[in-house]
């Protein structure tokens, strides 16, 4: 579970543990938050401090996890950064270090983790359907309706939608499903510093229910995808009909 120490990643961690997962491991840079979750959730939750944009760190963490638990059955890529910047602002063209950070974490990160996890997953024992595992990438509504200043973020999230089909087609031969979730606005810590009026305006863009999503509702979709093998090769928008305005 990348980004598993907070936000939607944390919601997915909690739901999988409620479903009696043997173990859930978060790959996250937030040591303090992860330690608090370990105290709360118990020994079935563990944490590796990993920058997903660093392939060496990812490979080392996955090797350690597989040595302890065996091959992963579920992978959720939820780690992401906003990387806000306009192509051209009053300060000049977009700083490439901002764009690079967004692409490296939001797109390279999932690729790094998938290429590290899939070999053992593909070699594991299948269930009665021949399934060996499921990968769930987390995109965004910004993949379609990116707002001004979301050049890097929207590009990275659209790429996750784009790679869903070729990955699903490739990994079907190994009994591995691939799905993508594109959430709208969910009430997670990323919005805590947003002014209340701005937060309320964002929530109002959801057609129904006219509110921000609850992290637990994201967790419910993770459960549905994991439990139901007919979910494969698709992107599901989870956003109460939200259509983001330009800004």
Catalytic (active-site) positions? 153
d(C-alpha 139, C-alpha 212), whole Å? 17
Chain-centroid distance of CA 166 in Å reads 18
3 state SS for the chain: CECCCCHHHHHHHHHHHHCCCCCEEEEECCHHHHHHHHHHHCCCEEEEECCCCCHHHHHHHHHHHHHHHCCCCEEEECCCCCCCECCEECCEECCHHHHHHHHHHHHHHHHHHHHHHHHHHHCCCCCCCCCCEEEEEECCHHHCCCCCCEHHHHHHHHHHHHHHHHHHHHHHHHCEEEEEEEECCECCHHHCCCCHHHHHHHHHCCCCCCCCECHHHHHHHHHHHHHCCCCCCCEEEECCCCCCCCC
Closest CA to 242 of 218, 207, 214: 207
Closest CA to 78 of 138, 152, 140, 10: 138
């Amino acid at each position: 579970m990348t980004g598993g120490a907070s936000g939607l990643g944390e919601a997915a961690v909690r739901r999988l543990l409620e479903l009696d997962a043997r173990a859930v491991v978060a790959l996250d840079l937030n040591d303090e938050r992860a330690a608090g979750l370990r105290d709360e959730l118990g020994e079935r939750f563990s944490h590796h401090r990993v920058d997903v944009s660093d392939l060496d760190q990812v490979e080392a963490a996955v090797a350690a996890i597989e040595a302890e638990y065996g091959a992963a059955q579920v992978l959720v890529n939820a780690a992401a950064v906003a990387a806000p910047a306009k192509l051209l602002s009053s300060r000049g063209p977009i700083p490439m270090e901002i764009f690079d950070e967004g692409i490296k974490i939001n797109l390279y990160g999932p690729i790094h983790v998938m290429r590290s996890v899939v070999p053992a997953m593909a070699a594991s024992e299948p269930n009665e359907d021949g399934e060996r595992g499921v990968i769930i990438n987390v995109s965004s509504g910004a993949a379609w309706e990116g707002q001004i200043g979301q050049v890097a973020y929207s590009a990275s999230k659209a790429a996750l939608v784009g790679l869903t089909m070729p990955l699903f087609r490739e990994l079907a031969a190994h009994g591995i499903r691939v799905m993508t979730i594109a959430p709208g606005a969910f009430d997670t810590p990323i919005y805590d510093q947003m002014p209340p009026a701005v937060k309320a305006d964002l929530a109002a863009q959801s057609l129904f229910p006219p509110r921000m999503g609850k992290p637990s509702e994201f967790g419910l979709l993770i459960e549905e995808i994991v439990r139901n093998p007919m979910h494969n090769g698709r992107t599901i928008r989870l956003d109460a009909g939200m259509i983001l305005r330009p800004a």
